[in-house]
């Protein structure tokens, strides 16, 4: 018999894409058995394989052993879904779903107690703040002072919450979660001694939930953004800058999910700015290059290579637009980095441009 992994998901994305996905699930759920597109299955209309089939996936290549449930629209940009799957989590299915709707980004909590799997990728606890699983069946004195068995399963969010729950709700004061294993042994010994004859096999277990690096969310988007950038660069080589811009803007959408202050976001801004320049839109080019500079400064600190590159390109645009004062400002900022790094070719080129800007400003002031 298969062990089942119980997974809770919250999927974030654009409203229109979530609407489509929600409609798909509801349509599949409403199917009668005679209308099933795949025959001879033992599951109902919420079989995972129906989603795979609908999205054009190969049923033999995906973990379809399981069903979904608990569909809930949390908000315009968030949808909750539960999945029970045999043996392992349906990560391949979730990636297939995210391929169909590119704005999707999912958070999960999953567990399979038999193999001691308790995991979440919700690092900040936005949807799944639980950090421990506490379960058991223990003797507790009731109002009449008699011992009775009480079953429980809780998901505390911190060690402090564990201690408070055990000390208060379970009537067993502790100062550290390390004491729980000792209490479990004590329960076993007292059972052997006949102390808890009315409570069969009492126990208490605690499992720490592993907080995973969000591979299934953020890295998934990073891979897509990288592919989009690569395709955009190919279009640039062909001087198809409008096509390149379209892909770079899409890559930016993915990378922004890593955070607004992230090196990939800064690089995206720079690439977009350069592409706007090649399209002849100097204003947009400056706008995005300044965004790139702001992000790179915050990511790497002052006088870094990426920011120097931003400054140099900004200065070049201002220089071509005969805005010598602004060009001079950014050439000087770039020069600081190249002087510190000792790059003679860059230094010579920038110093030449600085002199040209200064001469132009002197001429204007005469």
Tell me, yes or no, whether 166 and 202 share the same domain: yes
At residue 269 the predicted structure's pLDDT band, cuts being 50, 70 and 90, is: very high
Tell me, yes or no, whether 93 and 198 share the same domain: no
* C-alpha pair distances (Å), 356 with each of 81, 319, 320, 327, 338: 63, 9, 12, 10, 19
> What confidence score (pLDDT) does residue 78 get?
96
Tell me, yes or no, whether 163 and 137 share the same domain: yes
Tell me, yes or no, whether 22 and 77 share the same domain: yes
Answer yes or no: is 126 within a domain.
no
Burial (CB < 10 A; 0-12, 13-18, 19+), residue 29, is middle
Answer yes or no: is 217 within a domain.
no
d(CA 88, CA 84): 9
Per the CB < 8 A criterion, the answer to whether 218 and 185 are in contact is no
Per the CB < 8 A criterion, the answer to whether 319 and 353 are in contact is yes
Answer yes or no: is 175 within a domain.
yes
Answer yes or no: is 214 within a domain.
no
Q: How many domains does the chain have?
A: 3
Q: Between 330 and 366, where is the model more confident?
A: 330
Of 120, 146, 180, the one marking the end of a domain is: 120
Q: Is the pLDDT of residue 253 over 80?
A: yes
Q: Is the pLDDT of residue 175 over 70?
A: yes
Tell me, yes or no, whether 244 and 116 share the same domain: no
* C-alpha pair distances (Å), 336 with each of 53, 308, 316, 346, 347: 58, 8, 16, 11, 9
> Which alpha helices (H) appear in the chain, and where do they start and end?
15-29, 48-54, 91-100, 159-164, 179-192, 220-237, 241-255, 263-278, 282-300, 305-320, 324-341, 344-365
Q: For residue 243, give both structure tokens.
A: 């096509």
Please tell me what DSSP assigns to residue 221: H
Of 66, 97, 120, the one marking the end of a domain is: 120
Per the CB < 8 A criterion, the answer to whether 9 and 94 are in contact is yes
pLDDT digits (tens, 9 = 90+) for 180-239: 988 888 887 765 554 455 667 788 899 999 998 654 445 566 777 888 899 999 999 999
Q: Between 363 and 52, where is the model more confident?
A: 52
Tell me, yes or no, whether 243 and 339 share the same domain: yes
pLDDT digits (tens, 9 = 90+) for 119-142: 998 988 999 999 999 999 888 877
Answer yes or no: is 358 within a domain.
yes
pLDDT digits (tens, 9 = 90+) for 27-53: 999 999 888 888 767 788 999 999 999
Sheet with 147-154, strands from edge to edge, namely 147-154, 132-141, 203-208
Tell me, yes or no, whether 357 and 228 share the same domain: yes
Of 169, 184, 208, the one marking the end of a domain is: 208
Tell me, yes or no, whether 305 and 339 share the same domain: yes
Per the CB < 8 A criterion, the answer to whether 310 and 270 are in contact is yes
Domain CATH for 329: 1.25.40.10
Instruction: Tell whether pTM > 0.75.
Output: no
Tell me, yes or no, whether 96 and 166 share the same domain: no
Domain CATH for 92: 3.30.70.1270
Answer yes or no: is 142 within a domain.
yes
Tell me, yes or no, whether 228 and 167 share the same domain: no
Write out the residue range of the structural domain in which residue 309 sits.
Answer: 223-365
Q: For residue 348, give both structure tokens.
A: 């010579």
pLDDT digits (tens, 9 = 90+) for 90-114: 888 888 898 888 788 889 999 998 8
Tell me, yes or no, whether 175 and 237 share the same domain: no
Q: For residue 171, give both structure tokens.
A: 């009537």
> What confidence score (pLDDT) does residue 214 get?
57
pLDDT digits (tens, 9 = 90+) for 291-341: 999 999 999 987 889 999 999 999 999 998 888 899 999 999 999 988 888
Which residues does 219 contact at the CB level (< 8 Å), separation at least 6? none
Per the CB < 8 A criterion, the answer to whether 4 and 115 are in contact is no
> What confidence score (pLDDT) does residue 215 get?
47
Answer yes or no: is 213 within a domain.
no
Q: Between 161 and 219, where is the model more confident?
A: 161
Which residues does 151 contact at the CB level (< 8 Å), separation at least 6? 136, 137
Tell me, yes or no, whether 258 and 347 share the same domain: yes
Q: Read off the pLDDT of each residue in 79-85 and give the average, rounded to a whole number.
A: 95
> What confidence score (pLDDT) does residue 64 get?
87
């Amino acid at each position: 018999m298969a062990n089942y992994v119980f997974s809770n998901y919250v999927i974030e994305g654009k409203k229109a894409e979530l609407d489509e996905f929600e409609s798909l699930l509801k349509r599949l759920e409403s199917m009668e058995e005679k209308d099933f597109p795949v025959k001879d299955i033992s599951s109902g209309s919420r079989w995972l394989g129906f989603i795979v089939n609908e999205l054009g996936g190969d049923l033999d290549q995906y973990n379809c052993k399981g069903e979904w449930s608990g569909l809930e629209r949390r908000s315009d940009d968030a949808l909750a879904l539960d999945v029970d799957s045999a043996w392992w989590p349906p990560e391949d299915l979730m990636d297939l779903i995210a391929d169909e709707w590119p704005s999707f980004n999912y958070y999960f909590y999953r567990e399979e107690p038999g193999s001691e799997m308790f995991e979440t990728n919700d690092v900040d606890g936005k949807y799944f703040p639980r950090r421990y699983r506490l379960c058991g069946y223990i003797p507790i004195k009731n109002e009449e002072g008699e011992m009775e068995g009480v079953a429980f399963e809780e998901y505390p969010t911190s060690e402090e919450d564990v201690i408070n729950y055990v000390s208060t709700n379970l009537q067993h004061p502790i100062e550290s979660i390390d004491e729980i294993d000792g209490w479990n042994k004590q329960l076993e010994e007292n059972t052997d001694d006949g102390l808890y004859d009315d409570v069969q096999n009492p126990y208490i277990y605690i499992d720490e939930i592993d907080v995973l690096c969000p591979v299934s969310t953020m890295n998934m988007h990073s891979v897509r953004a990288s592919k989009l950038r690569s395709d955009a660069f190919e279009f640039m080589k062909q001087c198809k800058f409008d096509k390149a811009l379209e892909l770079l803007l899409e890559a930016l959408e993915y990378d922004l999910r890593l955070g607004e202050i992230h090196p990939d976001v800064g690089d995206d801004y720079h690439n977009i700015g350069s592409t706007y320049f090649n399209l002849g839109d100097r204003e947009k080019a400056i706008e995005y290059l300044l965004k790139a500079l702001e992000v790179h400064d915050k990511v790497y600190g002052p006088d870094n290579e990426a920011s120097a590159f931003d400054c140099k390109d900004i200065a070049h645009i201002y220089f071509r637009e005969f805005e010598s004062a602004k060009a001079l400002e950014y050439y000087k900022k770039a020069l600081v980095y190249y002087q510190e790094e000792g790059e003679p070719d860059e230094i010579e080129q920038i110093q030449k441009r600085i002199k040209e800007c200064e001469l132009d400003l002197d001429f204007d002031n005469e």
